[in-house]
Amino acid sequence: MSQAIYERSAGARTGQRENAWYRVLKLLGKLLLQALLITTSFSMLLPMLWLISTSLKVSGKEWAFPPQLIPNPVAWSNYVDFMRELPVPFYKYILNTVTITTFATLGTVLTSSLAAFSFARLRFWGRNRVFILVISTMMLPGAVTMVPTFLIFKTLGWLDSFLPLTVPYWFGGTAFSIFLLRQFFLSLPYELDEAARMDGASNFWIFLRVIMPLARPAVASVVIFQVLDHWNAFMGPLIYINSQQKYTLTLALRTFQNTRSQRINYLMAASMIQVLPVVVLFFTAQRYFIRGISVTGLAGR
Amino acid sequence: MATTTITRAVRLRRSRFRGLLWRENLDGWLFIMPWVIGFLAFTLGPMVASAVMAFMQWDILTPAKFIGLTNFRNMASDPLFLKSFGNTAYYTFIGVPLYLLTSLAAALLLNTGMRGTNIYRTLFFLPSLTPAVANALLWTWIFNPDFGLANGILYLLGLPKQQWLFDENLAKPAFILMGIWGMGQQMILFLAGLQGIPDQLYEAASIDGAGLWRKTLNITLPMLTPTIFFNLVMGIIGSFQVFTTAFIATGGGPHYATLFYLLYLYRNAFDYFKMGYASSLAWVLFVVVLIFTLIQFATARRWVYYEVEEAR
């Protein structure tokens, strides 16, 4: 009995000694990892800090070498003053961008959710083959269709209007949104549809009243990615919009870059106006971002 | 008597069932109709049109003229086509593996469960949300040879100033650096992939005496191959189409060092109004991307590990 206790305590002692070493090593590892994480985070953050810092510098102070990270004095007025450098009132650009974003997103949500419902919950001839087609359009380089699509809209007389940037999204939205919604619809129990069908509900009613009310998180992800896409869009507006009155925010930034004054602090302030809403959106809806991106990864399967 | 009622009931039920099936077929197609029309009008139609235009000479103002393979023949002797193709290949085949490595490393780092992981994840991810135009403007300023942050850091380290985007040899690496900064989305995908690996696998390996290195090599990486595959395929497709950054930051310079394929295509179409030549360029891009995608799918069976497919 006592022998056993002795052995056990001896074992415990060597265990403790190993444990101590192990703990030191583990602590060192942890410290190393933390140091790595902190330095990487800082270097990821640095360009952002530089953007914010430059946007707040008094004109003239941005031309300093070596660069100063803390602006002194802080020129909040840059955020108002830069607007005077642009040929059109600044709110116009925002309004144009918001208009395009709203109509394109609305079309995407309505038509892609209907298609996704069909792909997930209805059995129809050729379904899987068509769905593979949807997925494969994700991999199609947009450049291939760019020139003819431009010519279509030119023929329709839609150039220099918002139509080429919104109307296509009323035709099934994007492959990504269909895919994301379909994945979500697949996860809902089929008893819901069957019960409603027993009661004589039509497929459209099931879509509208049974499935869609449950799909809010997936719809939120789609909306967020659509808003982001249209808010950031550059090539589309560049090709289709010509008059300053109809410029989007991204085109305005581009104009800004070419103005005579070349005030980098103003340019950075204007860029911040584009970045800030995205950051705010991210922090208010972080989980939808992460979920949306994670679901795209499934498209690879 | 009894049998007839039964058969009638069966027949009735069958016809109702068939009606439902028919209804489902009809509704199924009806609901995807917007997409089908959009696909025909904005994807397939333009693709066919583009294929036809590739054999034409057309400046929009005068009628199109059929010129056979001339566009493709011209490409072979077009130094800017070759240059832009080379630039894009460089950007893709150096850039994409680097993005994969850094995003994977970041994801592994975040997956260690250190304190503050949520904050680090946010900080790693945020740059990828920077809108492309703002991103390009910001990095142009960072790489400013006189007052930029990049040279400021070199100065702190006691290194000589660089010309960055004005240096033919540094411009493309500078672009790749911008790309690495924006690798957040791939990282999130890797994180999702890592979290999908069942703990039992690690536990079983621990019992067998496997260390961290072995576990990473024999469990983590194989289980992540679907994500690696997805990021690789989409990364290559995406980087073949790099446009906005070059358009804003360098305009293709210096000495065409950042004249990427899509930028050159855009110029042919919308600056020089060579619609036919632009279409042939577009088709070459399409075929090249398709070949690379198909190669990846063909080799996938050898190195991508899939769990049992889900049914339905």
Q: What is the pLDDT of residues A225-251, one digit of tens each?
A: 899 899 999 999 999 999 989 999 999
Residues in B touching A272 (Cβ below 8 Å): 134
Q: Is the peptide bond before A73 cis (omega within 30 degrees of 0)?
A: yes
> Do residues A260 and A208 both lie within one domain?
yes
pLDDT surpasses 80 at B7: no
Find the residue in A nearest to B234 (Cα): A139
pLDDT surpasses 80 at A116: yes
Find the residue in A nearest to B112 (Cα): A33
Per-residue DSSP letters for A196-254? Answer: HHHTT--HHHIIIIIIGGG-HHHHHHHHHHHHHHHHH--HHHHHH--SGGG--HHHHHH
Query: Looking at residue B185, what is its pLDDT?
Result: 87
**Selected residue of B17, B23, B35 to mutate for chain A interface (largest A Cβ count, 10 A):** B35
Percent of chain A surpassing pLDDT 70: 91
User: What ipTM does the predicted assembly reach?
Assistant: 0.84
Find the residue in B nearest to A153 (Cα): B42
Query: Looking at residue B234, what is its pLDDT?
Result: 87
- Residues B90-108 have pLDDT tens digits of 999 999 999 999 999 999 9
Helix, strand, coil share (%) of chain A residues, nearest 5: 75, 0, 25
CA-CA distance, A295 to A288, in Å (whole number)? Answer: 10
Interface contact flag, B188 A254, Cβ < 8 Å: no
> Do residues A41 and A87 both lie within one domain?
no
Using 50, 70 and 90 to split pLDDT, how confident is the model at A83? Answer: confident
The residue extents of the domains of chain B are 2-53, 70-303
Q: What does DSSP assign to residue B168? A: T
CA-CA distance, B15 to A177, in Å (whole number)? Answer: 36
A135 bridge partner residues: none
Residues in A touching B37 (Cβ below 8 Å): 171
Query: Looking at residue B302, what is its pLDDT?
Result: 84
B147 interface with A at CB cutoff 8 Å: yes
Query: Looking at residue A6, what is its pLDDT?
Result: 43
- Residues B64-77 have pLDDT tens digits of 888 888 889 989 89
> Do residues A35 and A159 both lie within one domain?
no
Which range marks the domain in which residue A252 is found?
79-298
**Selected residue of B31, B230, B290 to mutate for chain A interface (largest A Cβ count, 10 A):** B31
> Do residues A145 and A255 both lie within one domain?
yes
Query: Looking at residue A138, what is its pLDDT?
Result: 86
For residue B85 the two structure tokens come to: 């193709």
Q: Over chain B, what is the mean pLDDT?
A: 87
CB neighbour class for B274 (10 Å; exposed up to 12, middle 13-18, buried from 19): buried
Q: What is the CATH number of the domain that holds A245?
A: 1.10.3720.10
- Residues A141-151 have pLDDT tens digits of 888 899 999 99
Query: Looking at residue A73, what is its pLDDT?
Result: 84
> Do residues A43 and A106 both lie within one domain?
no
**Is residue A217 assigned to a domain?**
yes
A67 interface with B at CB cutoff 8 Å: yes
Interface contact flag, A54 B141, Cβ < 8 Å: yes
**Selected residue of A111, A124, A251 to mutate for chain B interface (largest B Cβ count, 10 A):** A124
**Is residue A267 assigned to a domain?**
yes
pLDDT surpasses 50 at B310: no
- Residues A207-231 have pLDDT tens digits of 999 999 998 888 998 998 899 899 9
Q: Are B120 and B290 in contact (CB under 8 A)?
A: no
Q: Are B176 and B96 in contact (CB under 8 A)?
A: no
CATH superfamily label, B70-303: MetI-like (1.10.3720.10)
The pTM (predicted TM-score) of the whole model is 0.86
Lowest-pLDDT range, A29-43, B1-15, B256-270?
Answer: B1-15
